Amino acid sequence: MKILFLNGPNLNLLGIREPEIYGRLTLGDIEAKVRERAIQLKVDVDFQQSNQEGELVGWIQAAKDKFAVIVINAAAYTHTSVALRDAISAVGIPTIEIHLSNVHAREEFRHKSLIAPVCRGQICGFGEKSYILGLEAAVYVKESNK
């Protein structure tokens, strides 16, 4: 099973950007932890990060017939991107939405996710563990056909 992790804008700044909210680990540190857990679960993972909405849309479209599940931290695009929502809906790949922080406990504009209605579920508020939980949810969704 192959799982695609997509990361949106500013996640390349993890570790230095507002560490009190997002933690001190870099995206590379988080990726390494996910890869360790993926080995235990006997699944393959691929990681991509972009600050460009169109590039994320392209990766979602290209995932068709290559990946079993997408795990996405769309970051700020979560709240603004109809294009990401439409791409997720169009490809039909089960998608898990994740966030490091609890978006529902933050500014009101972060409470609304445009992609949530086309995702299988949402995980937020567990810091870097949100990525591990996203991986485990992806395996669960595929293995249970739910």
Instruction: Give the catalytic positions in this structure.
Output: 22, 99
CA–CA dist 81, 73 (Å, integer): 13
**What's the burial of 72, exposed, middle or buried (CB within 10 Å: 0-12/13-18/19+)?**
buried
**Amino acid code (one letter) for 69:** V
At residue 21, the 3 state secondary structure works out as: helix
CA–CA dist 18, 39 (Å, integer): 30
CA–CA dist 136, 49 (Å, integer): 20
